[in-house]
Amino acid sequence: MSMIIDEVDVICQHKADGSIIPLRLRFMDEEGEYQSFPIKGFREAEKKGTHTTEDGIYVGDATFIFECLIIAADAKRIVRIYY
């Protein structure tokens, strides 16, 4: 089951060529406590112009979409970040 969290803190590396590498993310769980996760791997989704994603998020040409692998509750999870 997927869940959309609107407020996520992300630490990224911005490279000289303009590319972005997400390194770590943090968000508040249902109990109001922050959970922090290092990003184990990622891929940048292909840019498709202005459209609505499968998550129901409306994105433009300038939006970066990252699909990131994290380990949460001893399981691999894919987290999609819109930047």
Segment 18-53, tens digit of pLDDT: 999 999 999 998 899 999 999 999 999 888 889 988
In a domain, 77, yes or no: yes
In a domain, 41, yes or no: yes
In a domain, 26, yes or no: yes
Number of domains in the chain: 1
In a domain, 1, yes or no: no
Query: What's residue 56's pLDDT?
Result: 85
Strands (E), 1-83: 9-14, 20-28, 34-38, 41-44, 51-52, 58-59, 65-72, 75-82
Q: Which domain holds residue 38?
A: 9-82
Prediction pTM value: 0.82
CB atoms near residue 44 (< 10 Å): 14
